[in-house]
């Protein structure tokens, strides 16, 4: 289980700018739509600043496809460190490092370019939402296989009832938990 990381309180901001879309994409799902947050430059900047503060001291940020790219790149820029997009299998040219993992109904594979994470680099993994934790845990494993030391995972939203925190073995910062 991961340890908590202290993060700046942006609860009200997230609640105001990330509305719930009921029953999407299927009945019973309470989808959190980040589009209004992304469209508000001041709100997005505040969230990116808070996420950057929560990473700890790192050399590199990994952002999980696709919305993790948006937050991860902003965090990396604020920290003055490099950014590596974690892609779905088959989206990257050349040699890659990959990890396959199980989903509720199937499996998936994620990749980074070979050499994108150097041995010993301190890494933060960034994404928009932590649900069951499978993708985030696979990203942590991928960074480690490349020789990186994962020091934190940072997400905008954690959906606590889905238990994703329990599958992570790195410090986790969630700006808003539902």
- Bridge-based pairing of strands 106-113 and 82-88 is antiparallel
Looking at 57, 65, 87, 104, which residue is catalytic? 104
Residue that is written with structure tokens 């700006």 in the block: 175
Looking at 32, 67, 78, 144, which residue is catalytic? 67
Q: Is 67 a catalytic residue?
A: yes
Residue that is written with structure tokens 């430059």 in the block: 41
Q: Is 160 a catalytic residue?
A: no
CA dihedral over 7, 9, 12, 16, signed as positive or negative = negative
Distance in angstroms (rounded) separating the CA atoms of residues 165 and 134: 10
What tokens does 75 get?
A: 């965090």
Q: How far, CA to CA in Å, does 50 sit from each of 17, 76, 107, 136, 147?
A: 15, 12, 32, 19, 27
Q: Looking at the annotation, which residues are catalytic?
A: 67, 104
């Amino acid at each position: 289980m991961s340890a908590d990381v202290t993060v700046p309180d942006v609860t009200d901001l997230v609640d105001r700018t990330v509305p719930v879309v009921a029953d999407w994409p299927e009945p019973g799902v309470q989808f959190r739509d980040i589009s209004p947050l992304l469209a508000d430059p001041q709100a997005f900047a505040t969230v990116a600043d808070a996420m950057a503060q929560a990473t700890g001291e790192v050399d590199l940020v990994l952002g999980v496809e696709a919305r993790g790219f948006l937050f991860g790149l902003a965090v990396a820029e604020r920290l003055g460190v490099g950014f590596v997009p974690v892609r779905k299998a088959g989206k990257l040219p050349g040699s890659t490092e990959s990890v396959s993992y199980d989903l509720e109904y199937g499996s998936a594979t994620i990749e980074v370019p070979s050499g994108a994470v150097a041995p010993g680099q301190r890494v933060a993994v960034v994404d928009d939402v932590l649900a069951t934790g499978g993708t985030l845990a696979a990203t942590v494993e991928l960074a480690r296989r490349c020789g990186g030391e994962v020091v934190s995972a940072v997400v905008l939203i954690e959906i606590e009832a889905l238990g994703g925190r329990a599958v992570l073995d790195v410090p986790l910062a969630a700006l808003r938990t539902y």
